[in-house]
Amino acid sequence: MAEQSYIYQAGWLVRNYLLADHLVACTSVLVGIYMCKMAYDVTHMISSLYYKGYASLTKIQRIEWNNRGMSSAHAIFITVMSLYLVFFSDLFSDCTEGPVIFRSSSLSIFTLGVSVGYFVSDLAMIFWLYPSLGGIEYVLHHLLSATAISYTMLSGEGQLYTYMVLISETTTPGINLRWFLDTAGMKKSSAYLVNGVMMFIAWLVARILLFIYLFYYIYLYYDQADAHVRLPSYFAGTRSTIYHEHHVVYKDSKGTQKDTSQAAMIVDVHKFPV
């Protein structure tokens, strides 16, 4: 009886609180922030146990190491959810009535909120340790991303296109793994080479071919008048976000060439817990 009672209470909580439309956005952002904290701590715990070189990293390197673990966790989550919602769920299916640009669900809103929570958390860390975790290009990228995702989350408009853009996060784990291998002194290893090849393939598919398909879908499956009336304000933010995303990735790949231990001299990292 006690087990059944707990199940009933959990179901009531999900139906009446977690999936209540007016509370989904706020709840999901808080969940996203909490998930980031968990991912940061889990990365620290696993790295301490299974990577002997972790203890020899500088404090700022360990913070960035854990931060990139958090980033990878978000990228995996948002990629999986985006693929499901765009290609496998009925939300954006042709069988569903109504304009696809206005379709949303509690699950799609909740997923976007989790992503907003990640960008808020990562932006807070960037400001706290500025500029050790990234310069102005990271700040602009995160602000534009959080703004664009928040708009579509709160308005319910353009969520299909937002999720198609978010599929490009599939390249983020590879970028972070490149940094992990470089920091661990494995730049000449076969793993580094294989990861580079996989990054190229993922980039080609998720950040080039997918965007070609996205614009093909928009301008061929919607009449021009409808597209010009409804999409400009949304895509103005999206185009800016895409531009800064590519700029950030370029800066990130160049940044792995420098001695990150020097960053410890830039900021008093002792005020930030590892």
193 confidence band (pLDDT: 50, 70, 90): very high
pTM across the whole model = 0.76
Q: What is the pLDDT of residues 2-13, one digit of tens each?
A: 666 666 666 665
Cβ-count burial of 131 within 10 angstroms (0-12 exposed, 13-18 middle, 19+ buried)?
A: middle
Q: What is the pLDDT of residues 198-234, one digit of tens each?
A: 999 999 998 888 888 877 766 665 554 444 444 444 4
**CA 36 to the chain's CA centroid:** 11
DSSP-derived letter for residue 85 is: I
Tokens of 100: 């696809």
Question: Residue 179 has what pLDDT?
Answer: 96
In degrees and rounded to multiples of 5, residue 272 shows phi and psi of -115, 125
Say which residue, 49 or 24, is predicted with more confidence: 49
Q: How is the chain split into domains, by residue range? A: 32-170
Range of weakest confidence among 21-30, 39-48, 262-271 = 262-271
Q: Which residues, at least 6 apart from 59, have a Cβ–Cβ distance to it below 8 Å?
A: 264, 269, 270, 274
Question: Residue 37 has what pLDDT?
Answer: 97
Say which residue, 223 or 142, is predicted with more confidence: 142
Nearest to 157 by CA among 234, 212, 80, 216: 234
271 confidence band (pLDDT: 50, 70, 90): very low
Nearest to 250 by CA among 216, 198, 201, 203: 203
Contact 86, 160 (CB under 8 A): yes
